[in-house]
Structure 1
């Protein structure tokens, strides 16, 4: 079971991401500067804290507005020299990042958080990310969990939408914007393996944090500790809002 994150920045970030930071901590808190690729992380939620730890972070995002937010956050944090924003799509990384993991330009770590739900082809996106990693490099993948979404809609009083999600149907067909994908842990692991990546243990993201943070009396440190404790334990992780896995390029 992972311990609570040791990196100082992790303690200042939302408790719902505590399990992700706990998984990343042995990599990003070890003291060595890493070359990190953040796909779809334009607003800098992870990029800026990682740059504050001394890492060099390249963020690829299709949104110019998100990249502008990234630049402002990096400037405010004093890490603008270690953060680079590139406008582009995750499934077309080779067009904006002419690097491969087979040379010295490969990345040590890549982040793919809340991206596979919205890209045109999740399998292509993961293959593009794998291509950019050096051998032995790792990718942190976080997606929405179907089981958590089903329960959330049911508890919110929307049983028809919950049933549609359970059956992998669009809960609101006919709208202009397609529904975001939700993944079961098994489907996510199969996708990772299909990109020739070796997945580690999957964990739940935000098992109880969203519920407890709405309570004004909840101690943030206690919420983080509980999140980390539940992240790899079934049945709690099975109904988390998200699924996270670290995968390695062989």
Structure 2
């Protein structure tokens, strides 16, 4: 299915475009996209790279984007064992680990199939950002207090959000080191005029200012998502 980012809901389109800007220009790499969904990022990276995408949901795979060539596999962590050690230059894992109980095993498998000095891009929920959203945008003090007490959140599409800290990844797999942290979705949820979200000019201005603050810790602390880049240290 051939599409472009404007076909996505505004919040998802902006999220993808910011993540891609933060990733920079990636070319001629062997890439794994784990938990690829409908293949938006796999398709984007497939233009200039050799990409393998893994996704467990067959409906998502059936609706996947196919502007560019990439290899699609159906499955989950079970498919990672099919790859030899040190296969990939880059691994993408965006908004996946919150929804699985075997995330430590997945991260260790990532390290196994990643080449020395290879990189991993992980996008994850930030609990503090979710609390901000519940209070400012949704006026839901009950859920905000629940999150502050350490309880899980909930996503309408995927179920329970099992929050984890950025540093947990290094604890699960000491071979991996966080080399860069950036915030995403710091401001745009605070704009409650949903119609303006659809305006292309507004989106460009929002993406620009999100990028300006994404590497500043004080803004990362309240961002809805964190984008982590990890490197394999050996």
> TM-score range, shorter-chain basis?
0.7 to 0.9
Structure 1 unmatched runs, 5+:
1-8
Q: Is the contact between residue 16 and residue 209 of structure 1 (CA under 8 Å) also seen in structure 2? A: no
1: CA distance, partners of 2:130 / 2:33 = 25
Q: Is the contact between residue 138 and residue 247 of structure 1 (CA under 8 Å) also seen in structure 2? A: yes
Q: Is the contact between residue 153 and residue 162 of structure 2 (CA under 8 Å) also seen in structure 1? A: no
- Partner residue in 1 for 2:117: 136
- Partner residue in 2 for 1:23: 22
| Structure 2 CA distance for partners of 1:201 and 1:46, relative to 1, 3 Å | same
Q: Is the contact between residue 126 and residue 192 of structure 1 (CA under 8 Å) also seen in structure 2? A: no
Q: Is the contact between residue 133 and residue 189 of structure 2 (CA under 8 Å) also seen in structure 1? A: no
Match of 2:166 among 178, 184, 188: 188
Match of 1:94 among 80, 84, 107: 80
- Partner residue in 1 for 2:231: 248
- Partner residue in 2 for 1:48: 43
RMSD value over aligned CA atoms?
Answer: 2.5
2: CA distance, partners of 1:18 / 1:69 = 20
Match of 1:204 among 183, 193, 203: 183
Normalising by the residue count of structure 1, what TM-score does the alignment of the two structures yield? 0.78
33-42 or 152-161, which deviates more: 152-161
Cα shift at 1:110: 0.5
How many residue pairs were aligned?
217
Cα shift at 1:210: 3.7
Match of 1:238 among 217, 221, 225: 221
1: CA distance, partners of 2:23 / 2:5 = 10
Q: Deviations over 1:163-215 (max 9, x none)?
A: 1111211468xxxx8621223xxx22232353120111211111113445835
Q: Is the contact between residue 197 and residue 249 of structure 1 (CA under 8 Å) also seen in structure 2? A: yes
Normalising by the residue count of structure 2, what TM-score does the alignment of the two structures yield? 0.83
110-119 or 198-207, which deviates more: 198-207
Q: Is 2:164 the partner of 1:158?
A: no
Q: Is 2:63 the partner of 1:69?
A: yes
> Going by fraction, where is strand more abundant, 1 or 2?
2
Q: Is 2:205 the partner of 1:222?
A: yes
Structure 2 unmatched runs, 5+:
none
Q: Is 2:150 the partner of 1:168?
A: yes
SS at match of 1:14: helix
